[in-house]
């Protein structure tokens, strides 16, 4: 939960099916039920068989006042920062993951 909305509205981000297509969904909060407002496939929140299931990170990485969601691109060789706009999700340049050990 972070102010992921284009105008700073609180939103929820989750990675569904992290090992089968890996879809990140952004949901608008406020009211019942949550409303899916943007999604993107090809990401994951953790490697297969990892016990660390909360490897996503949210923060204002570029100093524009809006948080980005940092997740791994499948197949777990790069990380990517995602930012929600009114129309879509924007992804920055993927950064290579040098080595991973569990």
Count the neighbouring beta carbons within 10 Å of the beta carbon of residue 64. 9
Handedness of CA 87, 19, 47, 100 (dihedral sign): negative
Confidence (pTM)? 0.83
pLDDT of the residue at 100: 56
Distances (CA, A) of 4 to 19, 27, 38, 75, 88: 24, 9, 11, 25, 12
Q: Where is pLDDT greater, at 30 or 81?
A: 81
pLDDT of the residue at 87: 81
Cβ atoms of 42 and 55 within 8 Å: the answer is no
pLDDT in tens, 21-68: 899 999 998 777 888 999 999 998 888 888 888 788 999 988 989 999
């Amino acid at each position: 939960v972070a102010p992921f909305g284009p105008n700073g509205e609180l939103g929820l981000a989750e990675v569904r099916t992290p090992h089968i297509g890996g879809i990140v969904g952004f949901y608008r909060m406020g009211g019942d039920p949550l409303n899916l407002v943007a999604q993107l496939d090809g990401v994951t929140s953790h490697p297969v068989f990892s016990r660390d299931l909360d490897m996503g990170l949210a923060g204002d990485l570029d100093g524009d006042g809006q948080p980005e969601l940092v997740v791994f691109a499948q197949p777990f060789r790069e990380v990517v920062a995602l930012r929600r706009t009114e129309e879509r999700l924007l992804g920055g340049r993927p950064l290579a993951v040098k080595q991973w050990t569990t």
